[in-house]
Structure 1
Amino acid sequence: MTAERVFIVAQKELADHVTGWRYLVVLALFLSIALVGTYGGIESYQRDLTRYTEDLIAMETADGGPERMMPSVAPPVEGIYSSMFLTLVSYGGILALALGFDLVSKEKESRSLKSLLSHPVYRDEIINGKALGGVALLVLVVGSVLALSTAYLLVFSIVPSLDDLWMILTYAGVTLLFLVTFFSIALAFSTLCREGGSALLLALVVFILLTFLIPFVTANIGTAFMMEKPDPAAYGGDTRSEGYQADITAYLEQTRMIESIVNLLSPQMAINTLIHGVHNYQGTTLEDTLGEIWSSVAALTIYPVVFFAIAYTRFLRMDIR
């Protein structure tokens, strides 16, 4: 395998995607969803900004007392991007499936794969190039979403600060990981199935399992085996007692463990937890933040690796006639 041939295949795949009608439809849907999420984030930001301004005016005009206390901090602009990406990932998994479900099956149906392999290119270079081209396409999509959302904010004279920049880029990075996860699922089924329709159907089944069924079942099973939440009345109403503190700590640890398991098994839950965790990072230590989001990071790393490994192995062993 040579990197040059891998990049040639990736460029071809990217060009085919960008010039195809499906990419334009998916990109339009992504941008539409992003605009809806950005608009919702702007409304929330403006409400928080109005509340902050009113508190600031009240502080400046008050003679003394509680009114002289400093108001809460000004709402960060990165919160708008947080809202936008949370809206985007609600539907982004299905759109990522639409970009990858027939990358291989389409060529098997048209018998162009046999012709492609007659050229001086190896199978691993083809599958790696297709995967790289798909990831490059998703980078282009996320970049377009960022550019459009930022332009939309500028219309409302909202300018992100440099302090917000790394948070925004983090949101974009984890969203890209989420899209790559479902793209890798679609790519795997594209190699496993002979027809694109079957690949799309099975990929949608996996999407439903990972997004809805598995998190619901796992959460309910975990809740059934959890200890009951400690009742302060059983401790004489003293929530500072040693017994109550020990029991409530154990209860919260079990709750976090169930949440971590759910996040580990569901990319959809993982990305939601990850974006919320990054958004709430301010004011908490890095160790506490990593303790909350480690399972989410693991899920968005393990799933793409596993499904790409399936696609890679299957493609190398595929019988092409």
Structure 2
Amino acid sequence: MNLFIEGYEGGFRLARVSLDGDIVLLGDDGYATRLGSVKSPERLSTGDILTIDKRGRGYRLYSNEEHDATVFMTGNCNSNCIMCPTSDRERQMDSGLPDARLLAYIDMLPADVSHVVVTGGEPTLRPRLFLKVMRKLTDRFPHIETLLLTNGRSLSVSSFFDKLIAYCPPYLCAAIPLHGDTPELHDRITRAPGSFEQTDRGIRNLLAAGIAVEIRIVVTRLNQAALSGIADLIIRYYPTVHTVNFIGLETRGNCAKNFKEVYIGHREAFEAMKGAIDALIEAGINTSIYNFPLCAVDTGYWGICRKSISPEKIRFPAACDACAAKEECGGFFSTTLSMTKPQVKPILARKEAGA
């Protein structure tokens, strides 16, 4: 959420919001500032944490109403996935907070945070800071799940992995994408030679250490024929994974740039992944579907569909207003909706369907 503070005087800072008539920002330096007019597309709540630059432009890092915290490490990444929703320019920018301020941000989070996500880019590319973040999260929130979004490549390096084991939160889960059932296909999608071998070793290291692993399969036109092969690979080599999630595309960044090569419609994608889902479930592996509208999925699979799109990105076509399942549906990414103009099929209520 972006906002603007009129008449702001000061440098870049972190601030916690306190609503008491006016808005009071309690900085990480302990200095309090009472503000006048704040222009924001959404309302602020007491406990929200913001960054503010010297021009008065702000961004909300943490919403106290959601109780889910995100720790963004860096925009940089050591892969360049062909369908990544981040653009080349965004990936090349080191857009994370300076070390001291990122650690201060974690200190400012309330004690009742329910879930933490550590993400990037590739979050392990700031290795010293990353390990400090892991230690601080362990000290502050020892009883909640920390989700690490990573491509797993850094975790193949024994010296680094051993340090992670020493520093990591007790309820850590690492979410790692697997793009193909062969090194050639995976590396073609990441556009990083050797990435499959590194990711495989990273997953094996995590499982051997007893750390939960979530494998993410982003469904594209490039790997749609390999989905059953990916499922077989997981069943054979990673049978103790915590969960496998099939992910629908967000058409921005590289995905928009390479749209014709990678994009696959929701229904076609579901048909391609249905056999792989069945195989994983039959093998006793927890499996879910992310970023798919319910009308693109057979009703027998609705129970594993998740409302996974961030609220500010969700959009519904006008035709969805007639759908009886709209409240349960995860909807569409705003960019995907504008680029693809999908043909939705509103789901009728039972009495309207004659059931």
- TM-score over 0.5 (shorter chain): no
> Computing the radius of gyration over CA atoms, which structure comes out larger, 1 or 2?
1
The structure in which a higher percent of residues are strand is 2
Q: Which has the higher contact order (CA 8 A, sep 6+)?
A: 1
Give the TM interval when normalised to the shorter protein.
under 0.3
The structure in which a higher percent of residues are helix is 1
